[in-house]
Every structure is written in structure tokens, then in C-alpha cells.
Amino acid sequence: MILVTRPNHDGGTNYLYYWSGKVIEETKKKSVDVIDLAKSKANRKNFISYLIKQKPSIVWVNGHGNDDCVTGFNNDILISTSDKNLNLQVKVFVARSCRCGKLLGKFLVNNGVGAFIGYLDDYIIKTSRKYTTRPWLDPVAGLFLEPSNYIITLLTKGHSVDETNDKSKKMILMNLKKTLVKDADDKNDLGRWLWHDYKNQVALGRLEIKV
């Protein structure tokens, strides 16, 4: 079972909302149970309730974050390093959120979570203005969001956390390579932001875990 949060209260989360929707659709087709806390349902009350009662093996948070927390709709803090007594039994916690790899990730793996995949710094997405009203079709954003979508695809296929993180990061590099081959001067400056996301994506905890 996967517990997903995908708020859509601003431009950035709106992109994550639609792009994570693609993975949710594919995952449901594989007969994997998905608890989809979308839009305003992505709040702390729902998140903690499902986390404790349903004990999902994968948690996938999409939204804003900081060193010590991840947030949901209207930046409601879903979980933070202050949540010391939750008795988490999650196998893999994936956070497509800024910076939480620094403190929250370490906190989670020290408090019951098997492994964590997330980012040490801000997660950057370059987008194309042509697709503001159709973010799910934005090919530029896709260069950034498909590799992080791939994390969930790989985990649900039974890959270990280590393999998953490695393959996802290789996809970022492939996209970086495509960008530099197509535009040797990187006039669109995609390479810089892809390289940043590549360097900051981390896996913590028991990397041999498979779901």
C-alpha cells in the first residue's frame, strides 16, 4: 500500500499534483492499493491518521518542505522532527520536497522508517510557460519530474532502495546528457538545475530494503 500526498495550492505544488497523478494511475493498474490524499485532503490530520491506521509500506509526499519537515495543502506541516512518538512502520518514505533530506530524513530512519529518498537542498523544476494551464504535458518539467516519478515506479516493481535511487539519478543524468547534446551552450540553462537535483537526491537508512 502507498500513501501519497499531493496538494495543489500553488504553482509548484500544482505541477507535482498532476505529475504524481500519472504514477498513481499506473500504480493502481498494478493492483497496488493507493491512498491518494490529493488537494485539500493532503493535511496533517489525514496524513497521520492513515499513517498510523493503515501502516503503508511506501509513503510518498509531494509538496513543500524544509530541513526538518514536509508540508501538505496550504503548507500544513504533515510530519516533522518534533513528531517523536509516532511508532512509524513505513518501509520507504519518499519526499519530493525541498531540503528534508538534511534533518527529517535522518530523523525518520532513526525512528522506525526503513529507508528515505529525498533531497538535501531545494528541489528545482524548470517549466515552460506554454504549459501553465496543462502542466501534465510540459516536456521541460518532465525532464525533472520523470526521474522522481520513476522512484515510485521502481519501488513498486520490487527494486531495492539503493537500485531505485541509482536508476532514478541515472535518468536525471540521461536527461542532462540529452539537454547538453541538443544545446551545447545550454542556452536554456536546463543543465545547471538538473545537475543540482542530481547532486542533492539522496537515499538514507537501510538501502537494501525492497517493498
Partner 1 sequence: MKNKVDSDLKNIILAKIMSYDDDYELFIGGGKPLNKDDLVKNIENETEVGKQIIKIQSDFMRDLVSGNIYKMMSDVL
Binding positions for partner 1, rule: CB under 8 A: 9-13, 15, 64, 98-99, 122-129, 170, 173-174, 176-177, 180, 187-189, 191-193, 195-196, 198-199
Burial of 20 (0-12, 13-18, 19+ CB in 10 A): buried
Q: Which is nearer to partner 1, 2 or 171 (CB)?
A: 171
Would you call 79 helix, strand, or coil by DSSP? strand
The enclosing H or E element of 4 equals strand 2-6
Q: Which is nearer to partner 1, 93 or 144 (CB)?
A: 144
Contact, 15 vs 145, CB < 8 A? yes
Q: Which is nearer to partner 1, 83 or 138 (CB)?
A: 138
Minimum distance of partner 1 from residue 91's CB (angstroms): 27
For 176, residues 6+ apart whose C-beta sits below 8 A from its C-beta are 190, 191, 194, 195, 198
For 72, residues 6+ apart whose C-beta sits below 8 A from its C-beta are 5, 7, 37, 42, 43, 44, 47, 61, 63, 78
Q: Which is nearer to partner 1, 32 or 174 (CB)?
A: 174
Give residue 2's identity as a one-letter amino acid code: I
Residue 181 Cα to chain centre, angstroms = 27
Minimum distance of partner 1 from residue 13's CB (angstroms): 7
Q: Which is nearer to partner 1, 12 or 106 (CB)?
A: 12
Give 38's strand partners. 6
Q: Which is nearer to partner 1, 77 or 88 (CB)?
A: 77
Minimum distance of partner 1 from residue 61's CB (angstroms): 14
Minimum distance of partner 1 from residue 28's CB (angstroms): 27
Minimum distance of partner 1 from residue 163's CB (angstroms): 15
Minimum distance of partner 1 from residue 31's CB (angstroms): 31
When computed from its CA atoms, the radius of gyration of the chain, rounded to whole angstroms, is: 16
Give residue 85's identity as a one-letter amino acid code: N
